[in-house]
Homo-oligomer: A and B are copies of this chain.
Amino acid sequence: MGEVLSSSSRKAQVIRVAAELFREKGYVASSMRDLAQKLGIEAASLYSHIKSKEEILHILCFDMAEDFMVSLNQVEKQQNLTASQRLQQGIIGHIQVMARDLTASAVFMNEHRHLSQPFLRDFLLLRINYINRFKKMIEDGVADGEFKKEIDKKLAVMTLFSSLNWMPQWYNPDSVIDPESLGKQLADMLVNGLKQNR
């Protein structure tokens, strides 16, 4: 997990509480006074821990991005697996990272656009890179003959990402289904579809 977020410092606590607030109300609608109140301190006191409101958003977004990258790096090492197996592992990894901190994941997803430049650009470059690496797995599957050659790879990867990204909005981490099973089911649905196998 990102260094700051995983620590138990006061700063980390400020960021975790901020994440809850940002998720609930959105970044722009969350005031530093709201945040201070949740922490039981005065707004001005926040600035002993963080440099600015945006620093909080920056840490939340980039710490999550880092975790997603680490997870995908692991998967890409396993070149002994077939494309669909790697895709499955990638999906499971993504969901596991999200499940470790669904609040930060929701902020990562919905609020990153409020980063100012040049951070926004850096963030979007990381995201494009991540998506392209998933797209590569799909292309590998087509090249192998494991996936249909007629599939629209862009549509496939966008559909995959949409479902992954939307998950923090409805997935309940205390539910019966654990992240790994969820990842497997999602991968299976995407790869095999809903239809009865003949």
Known: A159-B189, A189-B155. A145 touches B28 (CB 8 A): no
Per-residue contact bits, chain A 133-161, to B (CB 8 Å; 1 contact, 0 not)? 00000100100011110011001101101
**Do A166 and B155 touch across chains, with their CB atoms under 8 A apart?**
no
Tell me whether A190 is interfacial, beta carbon within 8 Å: yes
Number of copies of this protein chain within its complex: 2
Tell me whether A185 is interfacial, beta carbon within 8 Å: yes
Per-residue contact bits, chain A 90-119, to B (CB 8 Å; 1 contact, 0 not)? 000000000000000000001001100000
**Do B26 and A141 touch across chains, with their CB atoms under 8 A apart?**
no
Q: Give the residues from 171 to 198 in chain A that come closer than 8 angstroms, CB to CB, to chain B.
A: 177, 182, 185-186, 189-197
Residues of B within 8 A of A113 (CB): 26
On chain A, the number of residues with a Cβ less than 8 Å from chain B's Cβ atoms is: 39
Residues of B within 8 A of A29 (CB): 28, 114
Tell me whether A162 is interfacial, beta carbon within 8 Å: yes
Nearest CB in chain B to that of A157: its residue: B170
**Do A151 and B190 touch across chains, with their CB atoms under 8 A apart?**
no
Question: How far apart are the CA atoms of A194 and B152 in the complex, in Å?
Answer: 10
Tell me whether A165 is interfacial, beta carbon within 8 Å: yes
